[in-house]
Amino acid sequence: MRAVALHPDVLVATSAIWQTNCVIVRHGEECFVIDSPILPDELDALPALLEQAGFPAPSGLLATHGDWDHLLGRLAFSGLALGCAETTAARLRAAPGAAQRELRHFDEEFLIERPRPLALGAVQALPVPGRCGLGDAELELHPTRGHTEDGVAVLIPWARVLVAGDYLSTVELPSFDASFDAGGPAGGPLESYLATLEQLRLLAQSATHVVPGHGPTLAAEAAQTVIADDLAYLSALRERGAEAALPSGRRSRAQRARHAQNVERIDGQGSRRTSSAPPLQARAQP
């Protein structure tokens, strides 16, 4: 695991697998852990990392969305509440045990042993859009939708850091969860993803650093480039399907396979084509 300070109040710990990013943010004597690394030794190292950096013990966990690889903070801090968007809390309630099963399948595939099973414990649904108190400051919570039907991006205003969840990666293509309900009232995954990118474009204008769910942290200008590339890719996916050009740097065999999945899921969902613990302090946003 690699750890980097983006600001005196913000650390990013990046897992050795999937480049999954965990963001630790403090203000005063209060600290939150957003998302999580994956491997057992990385999770075990988080308390020592905070202590070495002079951060207080965390008082809460946040998850940007309900994918299992972002929910493992409880394996490092078992007594803390898990805060998430109301959409994520609903997802977790609708599929109890799904994250644990997916983690178990991952561990079996890679022969990983963990000292204890994942227990999500108390899940606190936070109003999104809204704000979440941290010390005497507030985190801004902004809804995201497209990669999954649930999610939140977290803006840390005083540090000018945007935690984007599974968006804006330079190592992965945009992708859509297979269970996304294309017939939902808010529109299908591709249209939702495009709308989220436009929102993130505006939020990134207030940030010096943007942290994706997977891959390197981005400076503000680089984040805008990724947003433009992702908008172009998704627009081409809608118009040209399998013939859409992949963004530079994301054309590996694995990403070509992900592109094929995107084509299948968009086609299958009928998108129109023109050719083939201590409680978190939640406050509603004014």
Sheet with 10-14: strands ordered across: 2-7, 10-14, 21-27, 30-34, 60-62, 82-85, 123-126
- Listed in sequence order, the DSSP H helices in the chain are 40-52, 73-76, 86-94, 98-110, 189-204, 220-240, 253-268
Full set of structural domains in the chain with CATH: 2-284 (3.60.15.10)
Measured CA angle at 34 (ends 32, 282), to 5 deg: 60
pTM: 0.90
Show pLDDT as tens, one digit a residue, over the chain (286 residues).
Answer: 999 999 999 999 999 999 999 999 999 999 999 999 999 999 999 999 999 999 999 999 999 999 999 999 999 999 899 999 999 999 999 999 999 999 999 999 999 999 999 999 889 999 999 999 999 999 999 999 999 999 999 999 999 999 999 999 999 999 998 777 655 555 689 999 999 999 999 999 999 999 999 999 999 999 999 999 999 999 999 999 999 999 999 999 999 999 999 999 887 665 444 333 444 444 434 3
